Structure 1
Amino acid sequence: MEEGRGSSEDLLQAQKAYWDEQQPSVDGMLGGLGFVHDTDIAGSRAFLDKVMPLREGQQDRGRALDCGGGIGRVTKHLLLPAGFTSVDILDVSSDFLDKAVDYVGSDALKNRFCSGLSQFDFAGTGLKWNCVWVQWCAIYLADDAFVDFFRRAAAALADENSLVVLKENALRGDRPPEPDHDDSSVTRSDSHMRRLFERAGLRVVHAEEQKGFPAELYPVISYALVPR
């Protein structure tokens, strides 16, 4: 746990309180930065096609879990169009998950799990996923919880062709993590996250920075991860 960040339960409650104040819309999911939505989705699709191409004779990409999925922005605009035939959403807000049914508007949206990342019981679902997509929510985990979450996410992958994908804000250089007291998040450097992946028993098979975002925003890096 980073010094001064409090317990996992305290963090969860602070983060939940922050998100309870956000609108159940694309702009709300992006913290008022709805204008990056199209660029974000295009970058994610290009990344996914690169790290998880459809193999010869493969008709679809299987099942995905959208972590921190909110109302289903990533589910609706990325995961379902990319060929996942079923998607589950994990989010801390029951209001967002209720909104997701109408927003996604597809029977391919299956389970909606209301839980924090640290508290989510992957094994207890009895499910395995071909892709666990984690976007803009690992910033809400202290270091030890980050390691534990990604270790458990990797154990929930369906087979050797499955991936955990993290798309997250990052700091340039090997700088100390930067806390944000407004939403109780912490932004880490690329090198810091790679050390945490190693502790979680994960290997980075590909990583790249999102292009086309405004220069005043944090860099955003996508990582394709597999168990070592």
Structure 2
Amino acid sequence: MDSNNTTSVENEEKFYTDAIHYWSSIPATIDGMLGGFGFISQTDIRDSKLLLKQLFNSKAPPGKDHALDCGAGIGRITKYLLTDFFHKVDLVEQNPNFLNQAKQYLGPKLQDKIGNYYSSGLQCFEPEESKYDVIWSQWVLGHLTDSDLVEFLKSCQNGLKPNGVIIIKENVSSSDVDKDEQDSSVTRPLDLYHRIFTKAGLDCYRQVKQRNFPKGLYTVYMFILKPQTALSEVTIENV
């Protein structure tokens, strides 16, 4: 990690194993996935759908064939967001219990839309080359060190089809990096995210602030990222 910002994480193995231990004690429910804030799910999904609709109405939009849900948990994002837009969705999730629950949670009606279930931490995961139109990561990247996040984003670029994008939706701290010892994660400020994007060879095509979350929660931003060579225009929005 960036020693000037996030944490040196002298023992990266402990950083990751502590997170595994924490999530192993969390129930495989919407409330569990959202840290007791399950009631925000509909508001969250609504703004995410708006972002995707605007993306597909933009110049040179991505295709709608295949998406990847990173840190998928029990499949909330897949069920309520990605399967509304894409023909196939793959899920990658470190916790095997969550993945098993996802198969039940997504149900038989969505069976034809679900592709692969990958049981892996994102620090170890490499998407198949040129497979995905959209790679979606939400509320999971705080569990990666800065250096692993850069490498993960680089590997995601290799997994994109032409016009494909990486979409990140994450809590953002006000100025400094906030560390959560309980779940072994960090919350990064905007400037650090942008430095990481640049280091990974990505440009921020759009940046949109999530609306209508309760007071007291972190500010949440959505970032649409494109490989630097593919960038045609940059739009920064604070809705």
What does 1:37-186 correspond to in 2, within 5 Å?
37-53=41-57, 61-81=64-84, 83-105=85-107, 106-107=110-111, 108-122=113-127, 125=128, 128-159=131-162, 161-172=163-174, 175-186=175-186
Does the 8 Å CA contact 1:94/1:114 hold for their aligned counterparts?
Answer: yes
- Counting only pairs closer than 5 Å after superposition, residues 15-34 of structure 1 correspond to structure 2 as 15-34=19-38
Coordinate RMSD, CA, aligned: 1.8
CA shift for structure 1 position 54: 8.2
Superposed displacement of residue 55, structure 1: 8.2
* Alpha-carbon offset, residue 91 of structure 1: 0.6
Paired AA for residue 62 in structure 1: D
Tell me the TM-score normalized by structure 2.
Answer: 0.87
| 1:35 to 1:64, Cα distance in 2 relative to 1, 3 A | same
**Structure 1, unaligned runs of 5 or more:** none
1:16-42 deviation digits (Å, cap 9, x = unpaired): 111111111111110110010000000
CA 1:54–1:77: 2 relative to 1, 3 Å: farther
Judged with a 3 Å threshold, the aligned counterparts in structure 2 of structure 1 residues 155 and 208 are, in CA distance, closer, same or farther, namely same
- Which runs of no fewer than 5 residues in structure 2 stay unpaired? 229-239
- Aligned twin of 1:195: 195
Q: TM-score, normalised by structure 1?
A: 0.91
Amino acid of the structure 1 residue aligned with 2:170: E
Deviations 1:54-96 (A, max 9, x none): 889x9x7110000000110000000001x20110101110000
Deviations, residues 116-146 of structure 1 (Å, cap 9, x unaligned): 1111132xx4561110000000111111111
Identity of aligned residues (%): 35
User: Shift of residue 221 of structure 1?
Assistant: 0.1
Alpha-carbon distance, 1:12 to partner: 2.0
Contact 1:72 1:100 in 2 (8 A): yes
